[in-house]
Chain A
Amino acid sequence: MDGTIFDHLSAANLLLLRLVSQPDLVVSKDLKDFVIEYHTYTASVSLVSIDVRINPQALLNFELEQHARQLLNREYVGNLCGCWLELLLLIPCIFDWSRPWVISGDGEQPTMPTADDFAMFASLQGQILRWSPFSWVTPEVSLAGRIFQQAMLLYLYTASSCFQRVENGMYQVMVDSAAAQAMSYLDQLPATVRINSGLCWPIAVVGSCLSDPLQQDRLRCRLKAMAEAFGLGNMRRTLILLEHMWRMPPGKSGPWTICQAMQEHHIWISFA
């Protein structure tokens, strides 16, 4: 189901292409960079909220993505994407890569992955694991980037959750490890520090993978503190969403059921 924000993003695609094609004398470079960052960030983190049957190009088209990649070459650090723009640009890739089997519903046999799918998985995992924050950013920004990194791994791993797996097997170990590492990074970052305003997406992804009540409570307290400090609606609604997801049957909750939970409980969040 589409939310309002997706309509804005779809329309913005076309308008933004015109904007960034203007010469620098007309539209300043700083403004263009900010707008590209703004759109890329919003489109990428919003993908977790939408139906996988929707083509991600509808939110972030190829040309705008290329403009965003040019920012990477300049080690761009922004007030929305932090130092993890490179990770954000992997979200549409993971989304697109996972669609064939995530689309399949309960009880249906998921599409068998191909060798190319395995290769793509390896490539995506490698890019995420190789990423590191720029050496010159502040410790807070660096930590936030690491949190995003672990959330990205979870986003990637859980795309294959529809396949059969062994209880407490390799898959579960990797998921639990990434979640624990993310929580460890979060514990090092006070909840009222300004960088938290951009952490709704990784918190939602990580939170959806938590089954331990103690970890859930830690995250609950953190989101309450963030909502109190920042007063942004998406933080409170992220907590409401996670409370619903934590009540799901074991094994059902995850990043790829966030959309379903939002639809069922009429919770509309922009994770931007």
Chain B
Amino acid sequence: MNHQLAKRLRTRPITRVRTGCFTCRRRKKRCEEQKPVCRGCMRNKLTCEWPADSSSPHTCATQTVELSPTATTSQDQEKLSPTATTFQDQEIQATDLLDSHIDMSPPLDLDRQNRGSPRYSRSTYVWSVLPLPSPLASPASSAIDAAVTGNMETNDEQQAEEMFSRRVSYASSAGERVPGQELELRDDVTIRGSLMRGISLLPGYDDESYELLNHYLSTTADCMANGSSPINPFLVQIVPLAFASDLLLQLVLTQSAAHRAFRRLGDVDTVAQYQYTKALHRFRRGISEFIDDGVEATPLLLAIGALLMCFTEVSAICLSLSIFLSTALSILSFNTNRNT
């Protein structure tokens, strides 16, 4: 009997709540339908929103969705502050913001007809492609967290908060809308406009970095993968790691800069050189920390960083600054052999 019950439970399909508020539907939670704020939203301090015609069980795709604008008031900040709610609730909220954007966006066509042409711009789908780094959802992010955990005991709350802020800022800006404005998700300009008005996707990085990241997402990653399989690891694997590591993010930006420079002028330009210099400095620092501190938190990122450096050479050969890297890597190899 118990086996049958368990089997029935396992095979029972997940059903969405059809009459609850939007927030409960997205969270797949039972909504007790108190208005104006249901008990679930009140308890978790979430925005409780209802269809205009709340008697209709169906969601209208063009219904105005008013989400909390971000970072303009202390109250708004508190909504996304780690101290206001639990971490998981924040992640769910941040996830919900992005999910609602993705749900209503044009379908991602991985098998687009003109896939063979690398000139085809994927900028329309940039933000749909970009996965949200979440410890709950992404195996890559679980690796990131494990890597970070090594630092958690020493320098930690600040680092964790910075990383958290980066994730939440990313999700918030990806899902931000002007309150009361009907969403035109099929309009590329509106998507970009709403994104540009948000909190910086890359706190601490300038507009140039933002453009380089966009270029990587829309062009460079496509050119580096040969398309043999539909999932591009230079997006799906590398990008989440880049959002959790300054080193990998810098390497991604460097690749993009070198690639962009070559496409424009056929050679490396000052932007690419600058990004490459920064990448080398970060890499050296990462290696030094690994060697000096013996911290096991960084080998994942260093290993992938080393591989990305190889592909940076593919994008555009830039050997003038490589002497430092060669020296650092020699030290790393010597130290690793000494310890084994």
Q: Which residues does A use to contact B, with CB under 8 Å? A: 2-5, 7-12, 14-16, 18-19, 22, 24-31, 34-35, 38-39, 42, 77-83, 137-138, 140-141, 144, 190, 192-198, 229-234, 236-237, 268-270, 272
A197 touches B223 (CB 8 A): yes
CB distance from B277 to the nearest CB of A (A): 14
For the A-B complex with A15-B302, A15-B303, A194-B116 known, give 20 more contacts whose Cβ atoms are closer than 8 Å.
Answer: A4-B322, A7-B330, A8-B306, A12-B310, A28-B139, A28-B143, A38-B307, A77-B229, A82-B228, A137-B228, A192-B117, A194-B222, A194-B226, A196-B226, A198-B226, A198-B228, A231-B223, A232-B262, A233-B262, A272-B311
CB distance from B287 to the nearest CB of A (A): 8
A79 touches B225 (CB 8 A): yes
Contact pattern, B 274-318, Cβ under 8 Å of A = 1, otherwise 0: 000000000000000000000010011011101101110111110
Q: Chain B binding site: helix, strand, loop or mixed by DSSP?
A: helix
A25 touches B142 (CB 8 A): yes
**Bound Cα distance from A65 to B74, whole angstroms:** 55
B309 touches A79 (CB 8 A): no
Contact pattern, B 317-333, Cβ under 8 Å of A = 1, otherwise 0: 10100100110011011
Contact pattern, B 164-205, Cβ under 8 Å of A = 1, otherwise 0: 000000000000000000000000000000000000000000
**Bound Cα distance from A192 to B266, whole angstroms:** 18
B223 touches A39 (CB 8 A): no
Q: Chain A binding site: helix, strand, loop or mixed by DSSP?
A: helix
A4-B326, A82-B228, A272-B310 known; A19 vs B223 contact (CB < 8 Å): no
A30 touches B116 (CB 8 A): no
Interface residues of B in 119-163 (CB under 8 A from A): 119, 139-140, 142-143, 146
Top 9 A-B pairs ranked by shortest CB distance?
A28-B139, A15-B303, A231-B263, A79-B225, A194-B227, A198-B226, A4-B322, A12-B306, A11-B329
What are 28 residue pairs bridging A and B, where the CB atoms are less than 8 Å apart in the complex? Answer: A3-B313, A8-B307, A8-B325, A9-B306, A14-B333, A18-B299, A18-B300, A18-B303, A19-B299, A19-B303, A22-B143, A22-B300, A30-B139, A42-B307, A78-B233, A144-B226, A193-B116, A195-B226, A196-B226, A197-B224, A198-B228, A229-B118, A229-B119, A231-B259, A231-B262, A232-B223, A232-B262, A233-B317
B306 touches A27 (CB 8 A): no
A18-B299, A19-B299 known; A192 vs B116 contact (CB < 8 Å): yes
**Bound Cα distance from A116 to B295, whole angstroms:** 47
A232-B223, A232-B314, A237-B317 known; A79 vs B233 contact (CB < 8 Å): yes
A4-B325, A232-B259, A268-B319 known; A79 vs B228 contact (CB < 8 Å): yes
**Bound Cα distance from A269 to B317, whole angstroms:** 7
CB distance from A219 to the nearest CB of B (A): 19
**Bound Cα distance from A27 to B297, whole angstroms:** 12
A19-B299, A197-B225 known; A31 vs B140 contact (CB < 8 Å): yes
B300 touches A19 (CB 8 A): yes
Which residue of chain B lies nearest to A46 when distances are taken between CB atoms in the complex? B310
Contact of A233 among B118, B142, B316, B325 (CB under 8 A): B316
Counting chain B residues whose Cβ lies within 8 A of the other chain, the interface size class is 35 or more
Contact of B333 among A4, A10, A42 (CB under 8 A): A10
Q: Which residues does B use to contact A, with CB under 8 Å? A: 115-119, 139-140, 142-143, 146, 219, 222-229, 232-234, 236-237, 258-260, 262-263, 266, 296, 299-300, 302-304, 306-307, 309-311, 313-317, 319, 322, 325-326, 329-330, 332-333, 336-337
CB distance from A28 to the nearest CB of B (A): 3
A79 touches B226 (CB 8 A): yes
**Bound Cα distance from A209 to B270, whole angstroms:** 38
**Bound Cα distance from A196 to B336, whole angstroms:** 37
B259 touches A27 (CB 8 A): no
A8 touches B233 (CB 8 A): no
**Bound Cα distance from A18 to B297, whole angstroms:** 11
CB distance from B323 to the nearest CB of A (A): 9
A12 touches B307 (CB 8 A): yes
B332 touches A11 (CB 8 A): yes
A7 touches B329 (CB 8 A): yes
CB distance from B284 to the nearest CB of A (A): 12
**Bound Cα distance from A269 to B258, whole angstroms:** 15
A78 touches B317 (CB 8 A): no
A230-B118, A231-B262 known; A79 vs B229 contact (CB < 8 Å): yes
CB distance from B202 to the nearest CB of A (A): 22
CB distance from B298 to the nearest CB of A (A): 9
A9-B310, A11-B333 known; A34 vs B226 contact (CB < 8 Å): no
**Bound Cα distance from A22 to B234, whole angstroms:** 21
Residues in chain B near residue A198, CB distance under 8 A:
226, 228
Contact of A30 among B237, B266, B317, B322 (CB under 8 A): B237
